[in-house]
Structure 1
Amino acid sequence: MKLGHEASESRARWPSLTSELMAELQNWAAEHSLPAVPEEQLAIFAHSCYYNREATLRCMETYYRLRANAPEFFCTRDPLLEDVQSTLKALNYCRLPRPDKDGNIVVFHSLRDTNPSAYVFNTAVKVLFMMMDACLYHDGCTPGYVFLFDMKGVRISHLTRLSITGIRRFFEYLQEANPVRLKAIHVINCVWFIDKVLALIRPFMKKELMDILHLHSGDVSLVYQHIPPECLPKDFGGQLDDVETYHAENGRKMVELRDYFLEEEQLYRSYRSVSNKNRLSCSDTVSSHHNGNSDGS
C-alpha cells in the first residue's frame, strides 16, 4: 500500500523522525498483525504525537482498534457507494488550498441540504474521516490542522439525528487516534441553541479540546483574526474560490483514492491486540489516550 508522498520527504523536513523510531513503530505494527503499514503512515503517527514514543503507540493502538471495531465509521469506505454519495450531496467537505500563517491546513465543513432528514450522523463522520485520510495521503506530515465548521442552516431537530454512542466514539477517535496536530476548531454562525449542543458533547471532550474550541455567533469577519481572508472562500468574504468548487474537487479526489480506501480497510481489519489475539469487540472500553506535547517541531 502506497501513499501519495514519500517518507523521505517527511524525514527531510522533520529530522526527529529517526530510523530508530520508525523501526520501533514498525515492530509494534508487526506484533499487531499489521506488517504492511507504510513508513509514510508511521511517520504521520509519530509526527502527530511530537515524536513521543509512548504517545505514538497509544495513538496507533486506538486508531487501529477503532477502525477494526467501529463499522459505523470505518466499514465499506467506498466513495462510490450510495451512502457516501448521498452525504456528499447533503454536506460540504473542503480542504482549503491556502494554509494559515502558521502553515496549518484549514478544513471546512457545513450543510448543503438543511433538511434534518438528509443528515445521517454516522455517514457524515465516515466521510469526514475519509476526507482527513485523503489530506494525509497527499500532504503527509504538516504543521497542523484547523477545523472550520459553519452552523448556518442547522436546526434544533438536527440534534435528534445524533446518538450518544456515535458522539462518544467520534470524540474518542478525534482526541486519541486522529493522527494530526489539531490546532483549533472554529465554529461560525453559531445557532441560538448552541448551549444545548455543548451540553450534549461536553462530557466527551477533554479540557485540551475545549481550550481550542472557538465559537463565533456574530459576523463572520470575527474569524479573520484567526483565519485571514486570504485563506477563506469568497462565500465568507475571503480571497479563495467558492465552497462549491472545493467541495466538488474534494469529491473527485476521494473517488480517485477509492482503491486506497478499500486497501487500507483490508489492512486495519487484520488488527489484533497483543493481549487478546482475537479482534476486540465494538463494546471494548478505551484504555489509551492520544497525548502529545504542545511544543516541538
Structure 2
Amino acid sequence: MAAPPPWWPIPWKSSDLTKWFASRLHGGVAFTKDQSIRKRMRFGHTIEDSQKKYPEITDEILDNLQKWANDRGLPNIPKEQLALFTHSCYFDIEATRRCMNVYYSIRATTPELFNNRDSSLEHLQHSLRILEFAILPKPDQNGNWIFIHRLVDPRPSQYVFNDSLKLLFMSYDANLYTNGCSEGYILIVDMAKARFGHLIKLSINNLRKSLEYVQEGMPMRLKGIYVVNAIWFVDKIIALMRPFMKQELFEMIHIYSGDISDLYSHISPECLPKDYGGELDCIANLHKAHCMKLDQLRNYFREEEALFRNYSPNNVRAATKQIIPDATKNLKD
C-alpha cells in the first residue's frame, strides 16, 4: 500500500493513531490510556456518600450493573450514576436494567431534549428569561427535594416547549449531581401565567417521550406533582398526557386552583418559598442561583452527554432484544 500524501490528516503511526481518535471522541481533548470518561466525569458527591446513606447499594450490585452495561455496548458508567439507577428502582436489579436501557435509549434518540445542554446558548438563555426553575434549599418533612417550575412571561409566542423540557431535565440532573441518592422528589408546577396559546405549542411526540423517560428511565424517585394556580384548561393538558401515563403517575398529580394554603397539608410552609406564604427565599432569587449552578455544570453536562453520544438506534434495538430473552429465562427459572 502506497504511503499517504504528507497532508493526510490521520496520523499513521500506531502510537499516534490512538491519540488522534481519542481527541475526536472526547471533544478535542486527547486522553492517555488511563484517563477514561469515567475519570473525567466527576459528581458533586461520591459513591461512598450514597452507600453510607443506603447500604443496600453494594459493590456486588454495582459490578453486576456495570457488567450488564458493558455486555450491551454501553459506556463505562461512573459508580455514582449506577447508584442513582439502582436506588431509583429500590435496588431491584431487573428493574434497574430496564431503567438504564430506557435512560440511554431516549437520551441517544431525542437530541432536541438531551443534546447541547449548555445553558449559555442563546435559545436556552431566552427560555431562562421567560421561565423560572427553582430547587428549594430545604427538603420537605419527609426528606423529599422540591422543584418549582413556572412561567414569568405569559406570552405564548415566547415559549419553546422543547427547551422548557430540556431545562427541566437539566435541573433534575443538577440536583442529582449534588445530592446523589435522596428519599424522593416533588415537582410544583405553577400555572398562574399559563395561557391557552401555550397549549398549542406542545409537541405530542416529545410529550410522549418525556413521560416515558419520567416513568421508566429517570434515575430518581418521584413522589408527587402539585399543580398550583391551575387555570380552566388544565383538564385539557391532563387529557393530552393521560394516554401516555401509567396509573401510578396519574395518581401522583394533585391540582389546586384555589388558595395556596391548600398545599400546606402536603408540604409545610417552612419548606416553601415566600411566594407561597413560606419561609424560604423567593422563587426569583432561587432561580438566579439555579441559573448560576447550571452555568457551573456546563462541563459536567458535556461529559455526561459523551456517555451516550455514540449510542445508535441499532444498539438500542440490540439491547432491547437482549432484555426479552433475559426476562423469559427468569420466568422459566
TM-score (norm 1): 0.91
**Residue of structure 2 equivalent to 1:205:** 245
| Equivalent runs, 1:58-207 vs 2, <5 Å | 58-207=98-247
Write out per-residue CA displacement over residues 56-76 of structure 1, whole angstroms, 9 at most, x where no aligned residue: 000000000001000110111
Q: Distance in 2 between matches of 1:144 and 1:99?
A: 9
Q: Distance in 1 between matches of 2:308 and 2:292?
A: 24
Report the CA distance between 1:280 and its aligned residue.
5.7
Report the CA distance between 1:272 and its aligned residue.
5.5
Equivalent pair of 2:144/2:183 in contact (CA under 8 Å): yes
Percent identity, aligned pairs only? Answer: 48
Secondary structure at the counterpart of residue 87 of structure 1: helix
Q: Distance in 1 between matches of 2:94 and 2:254?
A: 30
Write out per-residue CA displacement over residues 143-170 of structure 1, whole angstroms, 9 at most, x where no aligned residue: 0001111000111111110021011011
**Residue of structure 2 equivalent to 1:292:** none
Structure 1, unaligned runs of 5 or more: 289-297
* Bigger mean CA offset, 198-207 vs 101-110: 198-207
Secondary structure at the counterpart of residue 308 of structure 2: helix
Aligned residues: 282
Equivalent pair of 1:32/1:271 in contact (CA under 8 Å): no
Letter in 1 for 2:185: Y
Q: Distance in 2 between matches of 1:93 and 1:207?
A: 27
Aligned mate of 1:265, from 283, 302, 305: 305
Q: Distance in 1 between matches of 2:312 and 2:214?
A: 21
Report the CA distance between 1:83 and its aligned residue.
1.5
Write out per-residue CA displacement over residues 241-274 of structure 1, whole angstroms, 9 at most, x where no aligned residue: 100111001100000000010111111113358x
Aligned mate of 1:253, from 293, 297, 308: 293
| Equivalent runs, 1:8-27 vs 2, <5 Å | 8-27=48-67
**Residue of structure 1 equivalent to 2:78:** 38
* Bigger mean CA offset, 189-198 vs 135-144: 189-198
Equivalent pair of 2:89/2:96 in contact (CA under 8 Å): yes
* Bigger mean CA offset, 146-155 vs 24-33: 24-33
Larger radius of gyration: 2
**Residue of structure 2 equivalent to 1:55:** 95
**Residue of structure 2 equivalent to 1:231:** 271
Equivalent pair of 1:93/1:107 in contact (CA under 8 Å): yes
Equivalent pair of 1:91/1:109 in contact (CA under 8 Å): yes
Secondary structure at the counterpart of residue 40 of structure 1: helix
Q: Distance in 2 between matches of 1:254 and 1:40?
A: 19
Report the CA distance between 1:32 and its aligned residue.
3.1
**Residue of structure 2 equivalent to 1:3:** 43
Write out per-residue CA displacement over residues 42-91 of structure 1, whole angstroms, 9 at most, x where no aligned residue: 00000000000010000000000001000110111111111211111111
Secondary structure at the counterpart of residue 161 of structure 1: coil
Letter in 1 for 2:257: S
Letter in 1 for 2:126: S
Q: Distance in 1 between matches of 2:235 and 2:176?
A: 33
Letter in 2 for 1:88: L
Structure 2, unaligned runs of 5 or more: 1-40, 325-333
CA RMSD of the aligned region, Å?
Answer: 1.8
TM-score (norm 2): 0.82
Equivalent pair of 1:121/1:161 in contact (CA under 8 Å): yes
| Equivalent runs, 1:277-296 vs 2, <5 Å | 277=315
Equivalent pair of 1:152/1:190 in contact (CA under 8 Å): yes
Q: Distance in 1 between matches of 2:317 and 2:305?
A: 16
Equivalent pair of 2:140/2:267 in contact (CA under 8 Å): yes
Q: Distance in 2 between matches of 1:131 and 1:223?
A: 23
Which one has more relative contact order, counting CA pairs under 8 Å at least 6 apart? 1
**Residue of structure 1 equivalent to 2:31:** none
Residues 157 and 35 of structure 1: CA distance in aligned 2, closer, same or farther (over 3 Å): closer
Secondary structure at the counterpart of residue 307 of structure 2: helix
Equivalent pair of 2:109/2:312 in contact (CA under 8 Å): no
Secondary structure at the counterpart of residue 173 of structure 1: helix
Equivalent pair of 1:11/1:17 in contact (CA under 8 Å): yes
Write out per-residue CA displacement over residues 198-239 of structure 1, whole angstroms, 9 at most, x where no aligned residue: 111111111000111100111011001111110111011110
Report the CA distance between 1:36 and its aligned residue.
2.6
Equivalent pair of 1:32/1:272 in contact (CA under 8 Å): no
